[in-house]
Amino acid sequence: MFCWGAKAKSLNAVGFPNARDWNPTEEDWKLPENWQEIFLEGMRERLSKYRSFRLFMDICVRCGACADKCHFFIGTGDPKNMPVLRAELLRSVYRRYFTKAGKMFGKLAGARDLDLKVLKELWYYAFQCTECRRCSVFCPYGIDTAEITIIVRELLNLLGLNIQWTMGPVADCYMKGNHLGIEPHTMVNIFETMCDDIETLTGIKITPSFNRKGAEILFVTPSGDFFADPGTYTCMGYLMLFHELGLDYTWSTYAAEGGNFGFFTSNEMAKRLNSKIYAEAKRLGVKWILGGECGHMWRVMNQYMDTWNGPADFLEVPKSPVTGTVFENARSTRMTHIIEFTADLIRHGKLKLDPRRNDHLKVTFHDSCNTSRAMGIFEEPRYVIKSVCNHFYEMPDGTTREQTFCCGSGSGFNAGENMELRLRGGLPRANAVKYVRDKYDVNMLANICAIDRAALTTSMNYWNPGMGVTGVHELVANALIMTGEKKRETNMRGDPLDMPVEEPEAEAGAAAPADKAAGGKANV
């Protein structure tokens, strides 16, 4: 259960060290002569740079509270996938080289020499952690194994030991502006196709702008949204929403990626990729940035972007041109999450919605790891979903909100060769979905993450065949009554609508959100 090793070509594109083609299944990983020295030196440096790292190496009491909280441990039963043990793999090396007890007592003190076997083990298990932070919620000291995985991956990176499924997108994003390597003319093409589909559906012609200077808002979303189903439906949802609002916004082909696979290689690489967003906002002279539905993207935007590439003093505090709401919680980064933006619109009754158009769907919501445990977006998406759908059901306690389970493929290993691990890791999430399917006939799994849309589709096909996966803005687009639209025969996917034939009155549509607002609020 592993992904193929990173190729020299991709590593060279971003100037990473020790680039070479190598194969994890082969005995010889073609490591540099002094690999131990590089690794330990890297460790020493990071111990002095990250309090989290040093502290988490020192204070674990091995109480085991985190053990059965990791979806990979639950799904594989492999004891080394217990978060505490994943951390111990590195902690044992830390003891051996950086603590007195480890130097003196060696194995007795739980210390291990850094040999090839240990290195390979570190590699294997660093790529069986999706950096989801679920363990950190339960640890009495907040020890975040994701933080340790991040460091281990940085160290492995010094030795050229990354995985291609992460490195390929990093190189593409660096050179071409997005993970999927979509070049500017292709991107424009893709959008034209999406807009054609929207026209077929609604009779409305949308012409989005790219790299337009002087726009009020720069919109950034993960490129997965305009690459493949079902992400594209969500992307079309953005286009329709913005068109209906008459929003003065632009896409960028240079900052065409909201996600950040660099984050799965090293802090420095993540910063290098992330820098494009502020740089582009500055070049285009926009007032603020709006970001699409994505998980790890929002961990980066919330916890890292301003620190790396801020201050964004050339921007203004985000203010919705439709409702006048100032997004105070983004006072410094000047970047707002689209679900905050849309929730605010609905709350102010600015959208005409007909939730009956989603009546063919019984929806549940998957909280993405990063927006949950590194941000805390819980009510906004629920409010939006309840405003646009009549049938919404929660998954059982212990599997939602801050205790949500990873899709199983996060942090850059959605690779085909890695299928067994992904499906095993996806089991806890899939099992909770199965519960609401069996109980309430749920047939649609909503989320606000591009990786989820890809990963959960695969996981559901295996564990819960027939379960659909959707972004929240696809549901919004289904329900959105656009000015001058023709009668909708189908939903965004071209499936027939399951609703009474007569057209809803405009008032009825507009009233819906207000009713829902009360319902949503009671739940807040």
Stretch that binds ligand SF4, among 41-49, 140-148, 272-280, 458-466 (CB under 6 A): 140-148
Distance CA 272, CA 254 (A): 13
Taking the C-alpha atoms of residue 42 and residue 56, their distance in angstroms, rounded to an integer, is 17
Task: Kindly tell me which of 69 and 112 has the beta carbon lying closer to ligand SF4.
Answer: 69
Q: Does 63 bind ligand SF4 (CB under 6 A)?
A: yes
Residues forming beta bridges with residue 363, ordered by sequence position: 392, 444
Contact flag: residue 106 with another protein (CB under 8 A) = no
65 near ligand SF4, rule: CB under 6 A: yes
Q: Cβ 127 to another protein, closest distance in Å? A: 21
Considering only residues 8, 24, 42, 65, which one is a binding residue for another protein as defined by CB under 8 A? Answer: 65
At position 183, the amino acid (one-letter code) is E
Q: Residue 197's Cα: distance from chain center in Å?
A: 26
Q: How far is the CB of 493 from another protein (least distance, A)?
A: 27
For another protein, the closer CB: 37 or 58? 58
Contact pick of 61, 116, 175, 228 for ligand HEM (by CB under 6 A): 61
79 binds ligand SF4 (CB under 6 A): no
Work out what residue 399 binds among ligand SF4, ligand HEM, another protein, none; the CB cut-off runs from 5 to 8 Å by kind.
Answer: another protein
* Residue position matching structure tokens 């929240």: 472
Collapsing DSSP to helix, strand or coil, 5 comes out as strand
Closer of 141 and 314 to ligand SF4 (Cβ): 141
Backbone angles phi, psi at 366, to 5 degrees: -100, 115
Considering only 9, 331, 439, 486, the residue that binds another protein (CB under 8 A) is 331
Q: Which is nearer to another protein, 317 or 499 (CB)?
A: 317
Tell me the C-alpha distance between 218 and 277, whole Å: 9
* Residues 271 and 263 sit within 8 Å (Cβ to Cβ): no
In angstroms, the CA 429 to CA 418 distance is 18
**Residues 503 and 485: beta-carbon distance below 8 Å:** no
Which residue, 56 or 123, has its beta carbon nearer to another protein?
A: 56
Cα(397)–Cα(493) distance, integer angstroms:
31
Q: d(Cα 463, Cα 429) in Å, to the nearest integer?
A: 10
Residue 394 neighbours by CB distance under 10 Å: 15
- CA–CA gap between residue 374 and residue 402 (Å, rounded): 9
What is the arrangement of strands in the sheet containing 288-291, beginning at the earlier edge strand?
Answer: 249-250, 217-220, 288-291, 335-337
Assess whether the previous peptide bond of 496 is cis (omega < 30° from 0): no
> Binds 86, which of ligand HEM, ligand SF4, another protein, none (CB < 5 to 8 A, cut-off by type)?
ligand SF4
Q: Does 83 bind ligand SF4 (CB under 6 A)?
A: yes
Q: With binding defined as CB under 6 A, does residue 85 bind ligand SF4? A: no
The number of angstroms, rounded, from the C-alpha of 373 to the middle of its chain's C-alpha atoms is 12
Q: Is the peptide bond before 230 cis (omega within 30 degrees of 0)?
A: yes
Question: Out of another protein, ligand HEM, ligand SF4, none, which partner does residue 48 contact, by CB within 5 to 8 A per kind?
Answer: another protein
Q: Which string of x and - marks every residue 273-292 that binds ligand SF4 (by CB under 6 A)?
A: --------------------
212 is a site residue for another protein (CB under 8 A): yes
Q: Is 1 in the site for ligand SF4 (CB under 6 A)?
A: no
DSSP 196-213: HHHHHHHS------BS-T
- Pick between residue 63 and residue 506 the one whose CB is nearest to ligand HEM: 63
Count CB atoms within 10 A of the CB of residue 118: 18
Among 141, 214, 461, 515, interactor with ligand SF4 by CB under 6 A: 141
Encoded tokens for 344: 């605010």
CA dist 475 and 233 (Å) reads 9
Locate the DSSP E strands across 378-420: 392-393
Among 8, 38, 47, 508, binds another protein (CB under 8 A): 47
Minimum CB–partner distance for residue 487 and another protein (Å) = 32
Position among 63, 228, 506, 514 found at the interface with ligand HEM (CB under 6 A): 63
62 binds ligand SF4 (CB under 6 A): yes
Smallest gap, in angstroms, from Cβ of residue 337 to another protein?
Answer: 9
The site string for ligand SF4 over 21-60 (x = CB under 6 A, - otherwise) reads: ---------------------------------------x
The residues binding ligand SF4 (CB under 6 A) are 60-66, 69-70, 72, 83-84, 86, 129-135, 139-141, 143, 145-146, 149
The residues binding ligand HEM (CB under 6 A) are 61, 63, 140
